Structure 1
């Protein structure tokens, strides 16, 4: 399914550690694949699941989570 400015397949390719889907209501969700976050990671801002009502906000959430994971 092609989306304006974003394609779910492109997002899935860019964030393979996440299971990404769109709900019947049109919201976007992603859950980490095979990962259980520690309390320390949650305290640092990591999220097990993210969601947004629009694809632009959703892509920004995934990017922010990815950037958190890159910090030393």
Structure 2
């Protein structure tokens, strides 16, 4: 889950595995895999950074295989 802010200023968490695409226009628009659209105040590059950081934390926490 990543923390985001809606254009109305409301903070929320989003399951980043549900993201289909991210578009930047006046606002940043996240399209989910079910077709739902969410407008957020964070730029697309910041959202991608948050996703990478989140995934990195998950994969680094996995135990090594074969030991």
| Larger strand fraction of residues | 2
| Larger helix fraction of residues | 1
TM-score by length of 1: 0.31
TM-score by length of 2: 0.33
Of structures 1 and 2, the larger Rg is shown by: 2
